[in-house]
Structures are given as C-alpha cells and as structure tokens.
Amino acid sequence: MSGAGLSGAEQESRRAIVIALIVGCAFFMEGLDSTMIAVSIPAMAKSLGQNPLRLNLVIATYLLSLAVFIPVSGWIADRLGARIVFCSAIAIFTTGSALCGLAPNLPVLLAMRVIQGFGGAMMTPVGRLILLRSFPRSELVSAMNWMTIPAMIGPTAGPIVGGFLTSWISWRAIFFLNLPIGVLGLVLALRLFENFRAPAPSRFDLHGFLLSGIGLALLELAIENLGRPIIPGALGMAFFPAALVILAFYGRHARQREDPVLDLGLLRIRTFRIGTVTGGFCRIGLDAAPFLLPLLFQVGFGMSPIQSGLLSFSSSVGAMFVRTFAGPLLRFFGFRRLLVGTAGVAAAVTAGCGLLQANSPIWLIVLLVLLSGCVRSVQYLALNAVSYADLPGPLLSKGTSVAGVAQQVARGFGVAVGAALLAVIAGPAKVTVADFRLAFFLIGLIPLVAAFGFLRLTPGDGAAVSGHVQPQRRAA
C-alpha cells in the first residue's frame, strides 16, 4: 500500500496500526489453533487409530510447552533482540504447525506440538514487548486496542473454521491454515519491527528456569486434567500440591537472586500487581463463560456445532464494535472506575447467560453474547494497559514474561473451573440447562470478587497511559 500523498504523521499512524495488527495476528494464530483443534479431536483420533480421550494430549502437550518456555521469552528477547526472536517464533510456530499436519502417528504429532508450543511461548510475550517498546505510554491504549481485534476473533472463529475444515477437507488442514498467516506476519515483521534489545542482558538463570518450568508444567497439567481428564483423578489432583511446593522453592530462589528468570519483585509495583494478579483472577471468570456457552447451546439447547459457533462469534463482533469507544471510555473513567465497572457488568452478563432457555429469542441470545464480547474486550484492554502503566522501560521484558505466565495460568483455570463446576453440579446424571444456570451464576461471582481488588487502584493510577484527568475540586 503506497504512502504517497500522506503526511508524516499519517504515515506514522498507519505504521502504528499495522504493527499492532501484526502483533495481534500472533495472538490470532494461537487462539485460532487451540480452538480449531478442540473440535477436530474426534476426527483426529479416528484417523490416527487412537481413543479420543488420548487425543487430549495434543492440547495438553502444547499448553505444557507454553508453560515451560514463556518464562524465558523476555531473557531471550533481551539477548538476541525482540524482532529476531519474534520472527523466529513465528517461523517455529508455523513450521511446527505444518509438521503437525504431516504427522503420521500420535507420538510424532505430540513432538511437533512441543515445537509449536516453544514458538507460541516466544511469539505472544515478545509480540507484546515489541508493542510496548514501539509506542510511548500515551499511545499504548490505542495500539493495544488494534491488537485486541485479531486476538479476540481467533478463539471465537476457531470452532467454526475448525469444524468446516475437518468436515469438508481434513483435520490436517487446520494445521496448514497457519502457513499463509505465518508467512505474511513474518514478512511484515521483518520489514516494520525494530530489533529492540537490552544493552547488557543478565546471565541466564538456569536453576530458576528448571524450577519454574517444572512447577508451571505440573500446574498446567493439573489444571488441564480438571477440564480434560487425562490422568486418573487422585493422581491428577496430586499434581497441584507438587506444583505448589516446587513453585514455593522457586519463590525462595527468586528472592535470593538479583536477576531471576521470573522476577516476582515486579509485583511490588501496585498497577502491575493488580493488573496481573487481580486481573488474572478476573480472567478466570471471563474465560470460563466462552467455554460454557457453546456447550450450553449444543448440549442444553440441542443446536448444531455450526449454529453454536455462529452464535459464539457474536462476541467477536461485540469486541470489534466496542473498539471505537474503549479509548474514550478509559480516558473518561480512568483505570480504577472502568475496571470496577466492567467487572460488575461482566458478572451481570454472565449471570444473564444462565437465564437463557432453549426457547429464548435468538436476538436475546445474540445480544447477551455480543455484550459479553464488548465487556471482555474492554476489560482485557484495560488489564493489559494498566499492567505496564508504571513499569520502567528496562523491566518491560521481565514484565511480559511474568504477565504471560499469569495469563496462561488464568486461561487454563478458566476452562478448568467451568468444566469442573459443571461436572460437580451435574454429578453422574446427564447435564441439564438448570446445571448450566447454576454454573453461570457461580462463575459470575468471580469478576464480582475481582472488582474489590480493582478498588485498590487510586483514581490517578496509570493516568499517563489512560489519559484520564481527574476533575478539579472547587474551593469552598
């Protein structure tokens, strides 16, 4: 696209949008990939001659790889340069995806998923790091707004695209779909991104990497086992205390080392701590609802996968629609009021989904799902922005690693909590619409509780990023 006839400011604005969209496409590929695979497991199992339950390993292996390698993403970017690492990550993710499509058996497929997970672990945190270093803090909200669009579309489009490709072509096609997206992203990133790197990277924390990698892998495995059982119940539950013990050892190690692989000292920064920890808790509720909705539509209402996917996609429409208003909303309300308010609205919308019936008007279902997408989009934008609002520039790479781990764990817990709640409520009986209703009501409490944590922000926190100006009180 030619830039002739545009002023310097217009060209820079266009370049900023393109950079944000390229980073967003990394999130798009990852979200699309994970949700496409979920609907393709039965066909995959039949083709490879495996029990469908064993094919849950295809999802779990990728998530375990993410959990192990996300902590080192910031250090590698500081050592080699953010553009080099991001482009290499896209190449590894895309190549691993293509090799998954060529896998002749399950062991090879799982090995390729580990490679793909390594690429994904570098791709999204380093992409966010590039975004943070490419824009001044005052323009960060706008950049993250553009990044959010493809990041929100991927997970909701995945079931539709995955179902179509699996039904009409082959499950292998879902892996090949990443090829053109990855190649385009790689070319644009090489052309437009700067190769940010730290002037004097710290020595690699091998001991911390091993402790955090093992601890997070066990935690991820325990979480996944709640939602998609792979290991017998008692043994699966034993992974939780084992993970917590190892992560406690890591916490002790991190306090004694100046440059740990995951710098937990960043949590002393209030905005980062609230955006990452309290925000992570809120994300559990926000991510559980999109998992339960398609199940409600198919299991509770008897809809087809395509009907369910199209209704679920309304949330992406809502996310795109609200993008225009998100920046002004943040400037007007500030982080504190916006996060508290949207958490309350998210709780109400989630509870509203529990009131839906099989005979509810389609327009009402679409409206609730669309509102859910709007709220999640604004909440994610505000959480991402406030997390880095007061983080010093030299600590950005460490911050993206810590935040990346927190978001990965929260996302896993969101699905696991939704699945576990439904299983406990239904018990051995067949799941009913009433079971979904109670599950939605309970999940709606999670963002409501998180709202109290957001109240710990001050009205002026992150003002340099949000642009919020507090009204001056009149003198008496």
Give the HSE-up count for residue 460: Cα atoms under 13 Å, Cβ half-sphere: 3
Contact in structure between 131 and 83 (CB atoms under 8 Å): no
Say if residue 52's pLDDT is above 70: no
Say if residue 273's pLDDT is above 90: yes
Query: Residues of 317-327 as b/e, b for ≥16 C-beta within 10 angstroms?
Result: bbbbebbeebb
Q: When comparing pLDDT for 73 and 156, which is higher?
A: 73
Looking at residue 465, what is its pLDDT? 80
Q: How sure is the predictor about 50, in pLDDT bands with cuts at 50, 70 and 90?
A: confident
Radius of gyration of the chain (CA): 22
Q: How sure is the predictor about 2, in pLDDT bands with cuts at 50, 70 and 90?
A: very low
Domain residue extents for the chain: 12-193, 205-260, 267-466
Say if residue 85's pLDDT is above 70: yes
Nearest of 100, 68, 419, 411 to residue 230 by alpha carbon: 419
Q: How sure is the predictor about 246, in pLDDT bands with cuts at 50, 70 and 90?
A: very high
Looking at residue 1, what is its pLDDT? 42
Q: What's the distance, Cα to Cα, between the start and end of the chain in Å?
A: 58
Per-residue pLDDT of 102-128, as tens digits, reads: 988 888 999 999 999 899 888 888 888
Range in 24-28, 117-121, 241-245, 345-349 with the lowest mean pLDDT? 24-28
Distance CA 311, CA 415 (A): 19
**347: DSSP letter:** H
Fold classification of 12-193 (topology level): Growth Hormone; Chain: A; (1.20.1250)
Looking at residue 136, what is its pLDDT? 77
AA letter at 7: S
Looking at residue 11, what is its pLDDT? 60
Say if residue 473's pLDDT is above 70: no
Distance CA 310, CA 326 (A): 24
Per-residue pLDDT of 435-458, as tens digits, reads: 889 999 999 999 999 999 999 998
Count how many residues are written for the chain. Answer: 476
Q: How sure is the predictor about 476, in pLDDT bands with cuts at 50, 70 and 90?
A: very low
Query: Residues of 98-136 as b/e, b for ≥16 C-beta within 10 angstroms?
Result: bbbbebeebeebbebbebbbbbbbbbbbbbbbbbbebbe
Looking at residue 53, what is its pLDDT? 64
Say if residue 219's pLDDT is above 80: yes
Quote the percentage of the chain above a pLDDT of 90: 18
Please say whether the dihedral angle defined by the alpha carbons of residues 423, 426, 428 and 429, taken in this order, is positive or negative: negative
Looking at residue 471, what is its pLDDT? 60
Q: When comparing pLDDT for 218 and 195, which is higher?
A: 218
Looking at residue 475, what is its pLDDT? 45
Quote the percentage of the chain above a pLDDT of 70: 92
Per-residue pLDDT of 27-37, as tens digits, reads: 888 888 877 87
- One fold for both 12-193 and 267-466? yes
Question: What average pLDDT does the structure give for the chain?
Answer: 83
Fold classification of 267-466 (topology level): Growth Hormone; Chain: A; (1.20.1250)
Mean pLDDT of 174-184: 90
Read off the tokens for 416.
């696991």
Say if residue 7's pLDDT is above 70: no
